[in-house]
Amino acid sequence: MNDFFISALPIIKSIEKAGFEAYFVGGSVRDYILGRDIHDVDIATSATPVELKKIFAHTVDVGIEHGTIMVLYKNQSFEVTTYRSESEYKDHRRPESVTFIRSLYEDLQRRDFTMNAIAMDGNGNIVDPFHGRLALKANMIKTVGEADDRFREDALRLMRAIRFVSQLGFHLDNETEAAISKHANLLEYIAVERISAEMQKLLGGKYKEKALLIALNTKLYQFFPSLCNQEHILSEVLSLPINQLNETDMWLLFLYLTESDEPTDLMKKWKFPAKKIQFLNRALNELSIRKCQEWSVYDLYRAGEHIAITVEKLYQTLNGKSGEYVEQNLVARFNELPITSREHIVISGNDVLEWTGKSGGPWMKELFIHLEKAILTKEIANEKEEIRRWIITCLLP
Ligand code: ATP
Ligand code: MG
């Protein structure tokens, strides 16, 4: 058993000792069977939250209305969720309230895909009523029960299906894929934040090409923010070597191909955080410059290493090339820059005021831009006395 499971065993054992059932469920069991890395474990139990709180001294109500509490144990935290059924779905979204139940089978039955509906007890015994292991063996994503019903109940599953394709490289079972085509429009009922979170995982997946192709074929993309009627963009993305791109690179590619005058509006539609919007806007800007010229030292300095590498990788991708060699090249050039930020300049504005006897003003900003360029092009060294002499000469009438 994996370390994550072992550290959670005392939780399972304590619940069992109190007379209830407890199992590992969901992504951790799936990834364990697949031999993939596990990042957390989810525990499902027949005990209700009230009963759990009697068993454990330290708990936090993280999602008690859905039956989830966090158990704190030996400096670690574990999410424990009461078996539940989700009988009533409103507006094709997961229900606000749930019913706690005592049956593991029913709890597994409400889960999205057979590979996600496998449970494992504290001794490593598997409970797999929907043949999730067979699906895993066949690299197949298949809904638990009727695909039509399951997507109609909760349309977020449309996105989850294709993001799992991207992360695992699996194919969709025929009925499941047909149901995605049929119910793609139900995505409209899902909050953009949730679509965006799945999209982020999709674009970070190793098999994003496969997933985006399904989004194209099933027309699911028609219901993505900003991609309605943009089939040509998706087709173009799929014609490029996007394997080498990470999630951020992929967004930059989409933004670039969209040719929008208002990229910020577009990113707001996807509910990006301000920091991400700022980064991508800067990268877009640098990309437009890179398209016209090779990187000058000043361009590299202004862009910064992260943006420059992102932009260069994208530029190479747009030309159908691998970005790896160029990336190494850029890193080497960065390492040779005398300064990589204004803070590295050994003098301050106060020094300039003292040397020149002038009072501050907009000229100072311009002077520093000149100074940066002079240092970057190695016209002068980043050394106090040399800079002082250079400034005095510059400012001579
Ligand atoms: P990841 O490795 O990305 O965390 P995961 O399968 O664990 O994948 P979670 O969102 O953490 O995904 O959900 C945990 C489990 O809860 C899933 O494996 C699945 O059994 C169930 N689940 C999550 N979302 C849904 C949903 N929308 N409909 C039905 N079951 C769901
Ligand atoms: Mg999970």
What pTM was computed for the model?
A: 0.90
Query: pLDDT by residue (tens digit) across 161-213?
Result: 999 999 999 999 999 999 999 999 999 999 999 999 999 999 999 999 999 99
Q: Are residues 79 and 41 in the same domain?
A: yes
Residue that is last in its domain, among 123, 138, 153: 138
Q: Are residues 74 and 151 in the same domain?
A: no
Q: Would you place residue 1 in the very low, low, confident or very high pLDDT band (cuts 50, 70, 90)? A: confident
pLDDT value, residue 329: 85
Residue that is last in its domain, among 138, 161, 179: 138
Average pLDDT over residues 69-95: 87
Does 232 reside within a domain? no
Domain residues for the domain of 79 are 1-138
Which CATH number does the domain housing residue 163 bear? Answer: 1.10.110.30
| C-alpha 48, offset from chain centre | 33
Number of domains the chain is built from: 4
Which CATH number does the domain housing residue 363 bear? Answer: 1.10.246.80
Q: Are residues 114 and 167 in the same domain?
A: no
pLDDT value, residue 16: 97
Does 194 reside within a domain? yes
ipTM for the assembly? 0.98
Does 108 reside within a domain? yes
CA of 373 to the centre of ligand 1 (A): 52
Q: Are residues 97 and 162 in the same domain?
A: no
Q: Are 282 and 234 in contact (CB under 8 A)?
A: no
pLDDT value, residue 98: 81
> Best-predicted range by mean pLDDT among 86-90, 175-179, 376-380?
175-179
Does 255 reside within a domain? yes
Query: pLDDT by residue (tens digit) across 222-247?
Result: 999 988 888 999 999 999 999 999 99
The DSSP line for 306-350 is HHHHHHHHHHHHHTT--SHHHHHHHHHHHHH-S-SSGGGSS--HH
pLDDT value, residue 87: 67
Q: Would you place residue 272 in the very low, low, confident or very high pLDDT band (cuts 50, 70, 90)? A: very high
pLDDT value, residue 204: 97
pLDDT value, residue 65: 83
Which CATH number does the domain housing residue 259 bear? Answer: 1.20.58.560
Q: Are residues 181 and 131 in the same domain?
A: no
Q: Are residues 333 and 350 in the same domain?
A: no
Q: Are residues 157 and 197 in the same domain?
A: yes
Looking at the CA of residue 160, tell me the nearest atom of ligand 1.
27
Query: Dihedrals φ, ψ of 61, to 5°?
Result: -80, 90
Residue that is last in its domain, among 290, 311, 337: 337
Query: pLDDT by residue (tens digit) across 140-157?
Result: 999 999 999 999 999 999
pLDDT value, residue 27: 96
Binding site annotation covers 30?
yes
pLDDT value, residue 182: 98
Ligand 1 site, CB within 6 A: 26-27, 42, 94, 111-112, 116-117, 154, 156-157, 160
Q: Are residues 87 and 154 in the same domain?
A: no
pLDDT value, residue 92: 79
Is a pLDDT exceeding 90 seen at residue 47? Answer: yes
Q: Which ligand is nearest to the CA of 167?
A: 1
Q: Are residues 4 and 102 in the same domain?
A: yes
Does 235 reside within a domain? no
Does 230 reside within a domain? no
> Rg of the chain over CA atoms, in angstroms?
28
Q: Are residues 133 and 40 in the same domain?
A: yes
What is residue 268's three-state secondary structure?
helix
Q: Are residues 365 and 347 in the same domain?
A: yes
Query: Dihedrals φ, ψ of 41, to 5°?
Result: -125, 145
Q: Would you place residue 397 in the very low, low, confident or very high pLDDT band (cuts 50, 70, 90)? A: low
Does 160 reside within a domain? yes
Binding site annotation covers 111?
yes
CA of 119 to the centre of ligand 2 (A): 13
Q: Are residues 7 and 123 in the same domain?
A: yes
Burial bucket for residue 152 (CB in 10 Å: 0-12, 13-18, 19+) = middle
Which CATH number does the domain housing residue 10 bear? Answer: 3.30.460.10
Query: pLDDT by residue (tens digit) across 336-348?
Result: 999 999 999 999 9
Does 234 reside within a domain? no
